[in-house]
């Protein structure tokens, strides 16, 4: 008996299906990487206030008219815009600042958003970049791609946030429309601002700070890292914060109190960093808490160093073990 022959599949259809399948796999990988980075961002912001970092707001030590709950609410509100697929760096910063103000009514995280937006875009564009070297290259590509529209959106966001001590810049002031791309504008500001320096230098300071934690297997998002941080995580975050504060004069302190005060704080951080290395941490030391209280009493807020710490923790989370 002759059975009807099965029609042969059109080779052209097979060729068309392969790219579609590949595209779907790429999209799924991008979504997973973005979701992981978003989780790492929220965890980094939670650690920011869960760990005592002298001069900064924490659950144990509110200050500067702010409490830890404001920072948590700001992070949760900003995360949607910060990790919105397809948005450029400037648009993410502007939308995240607007979301923050809607819940906090003040500037709690401008520096964090400026630092984390290029990381978020890099993860979206290069979801395979799961090592420090690969992520650094991906961030470099994002920074090289920044354009005038990024600068316009970021300038609007900065002007709206009104960070403490914001003065007038001789060129490309944020209150005026920019005439250069965002990286060029940040390069002009780099000598006086540590966040701008990251844009100029490809986040080199952050990768220098966080690479030892990555190499040691520090993880932000493993099941054991949820909730209240353990003693090892507290010590890691404090060492990271002290490394940054001891190496760079905090830009926020410089703007509000001058270079001399910033260098006094930097020298104190150098001493505490050495002490923490000898003792395995400083979190439970009464003198560490007293330093925290004294900075707040003098209205000294190393806010830029806190922003750098959060961004470094995000990098460690993206590149660390899951």
- Higher-pLDDT residue of 30 and 262 is 262
- For residue 5, what pLDDT is reported? 55
d(C-alpha 12, C-alpha 297), whole Å:
73
Nearest to 143 by CA among 101, 97, 190, 100: 190
Question: Quick check: pTM over 0.75?
Answer: yes
Burial of 12 (0-12, 13-18, 19+ CB in 10 A): exposed
Burial of 286 (0-12, 13-18, 19+ CB in 10 A): exposed
- Higher-pLDDT residue of 228 and 36 is 36
Provide the 3-class DSSP secondary structure of residue 275: helix
In the chain the first and final C-alpha atoms are separated, in Å, by 60
| Mean pLDDT value across the chain | 89
Local structure of residue 190 (DSSP, 8 states):
G
d(C-alpha 41, C-alpha 249), whole Å:
25
d(C-alpha 253, C-alpha 316), whole Å:
26
**For residue 33, which phi and psi values (nearest 5 degrees)?**
-65, -40
- Higher-pLDDT residue of 50 and 322 is 50
d(C-alpha 267, C-alpha 58), whole Å:
22
Hey, what domains does the chain have and what are their CATH numbers?
31-319 (1.10.4200.10)
CA atoms within 13 A on the CB side of 276: 26
- pLDDT-derived band at 162 (thresholds 50, 70, 90) equals confident
d(C-alpha 96, C-alpha 80), whole Å:
8
- pLDDT-derived band at 13 (thresholds 50, 70, 90) equals very low
Nearest to 72 by CA among 40, 100, 52, 53: 100
- For residue 188, what pLDDT is reported? 94
pLDDT score of 31 more than 60: yes
d(C-alpha 143, C-alpha 64), whole Å:
33
- For residue 15, what pLDDT is reported? 47
Contact 115, 195 (CB under 8 A): yes
Choose the weakest-confidence range: 93-107, 125-139, 227-241, 270-284. 270-284
- pLDDT-derived band at 142 (thresholds 50, 70, 90) equals very high
Q: What is the mean pLDDT of residues 51-72?
A: 94
- Higher-pLDDT residue of 253 and 172 is 253
Contact 182, 150 (CB under 8 A): yes
d(C-alpha 111, C-alpha 236), whole Å:
21
């Amino acid at each position: 008996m002759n059975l009807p022959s099965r029609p042969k599949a059109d080779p052209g259809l097979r060729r068309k299906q392969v790219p579609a399948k590949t595209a779907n796999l790429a999209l799924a990988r991008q979504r997973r990487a973005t979701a992981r980075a978003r989780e790492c961002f929220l965890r980094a912001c939670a650690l920011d206030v869960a760990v005592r970092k002298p001069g900064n707001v924490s659950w144990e030590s509110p200050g500067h008219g702010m409490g830890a709950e404001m920072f948590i609410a700001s992070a949760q509100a900003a995360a949607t815009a910060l990790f919105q697929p397809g948005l450029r760096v400037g648009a993410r910063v502007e939308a995240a600042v607007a979301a923050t103000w809607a819940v906090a009514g003040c500037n709690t995280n401008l520096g964090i958003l400026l630092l984390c937006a290029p990381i978020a875009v890099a993860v979206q564009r290069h979801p395979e970049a799961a090592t420090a070297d690969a992520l650094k290259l991906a961030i470099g590509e994002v920074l090289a791609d920044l354009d005038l529209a990024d600068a316009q959106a970021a300038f609007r966001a900065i002007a709206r946030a009104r960070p403490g001590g914001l003065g007038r810049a001789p060129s490309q002031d944020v209150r005026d429309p920019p005439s250069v791309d965002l990286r060029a504008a940040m390069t002009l500001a780099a000598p006086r601002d540590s966040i701008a320096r990251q844009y100029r230098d490809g986040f080199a300071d952050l990768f220098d700070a966080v690479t030892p934690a990555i190499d040691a297997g520090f993880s932000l998002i493993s099941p054991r890292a949820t909730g209240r941080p353990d003693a090892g995580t507290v010590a890691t975050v404090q060492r990271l914060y002290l490394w940054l504060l001891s190496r760079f004069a905090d830009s926020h302190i410089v703007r509000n109190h001058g270079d001399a005060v910033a260098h006094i704080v930097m020298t104190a951080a150098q001493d505490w960093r050495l002490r923490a290395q000898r003792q395995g941490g400083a979190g439970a030391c009464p003198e560490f808490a007293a330093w925290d209280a004294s900075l707040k009493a003098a209205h000294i807020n190393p806010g830029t160093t806190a922003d750098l710490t959060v961004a470094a923790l995000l990098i460690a989370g993206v590149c660390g073990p899951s």
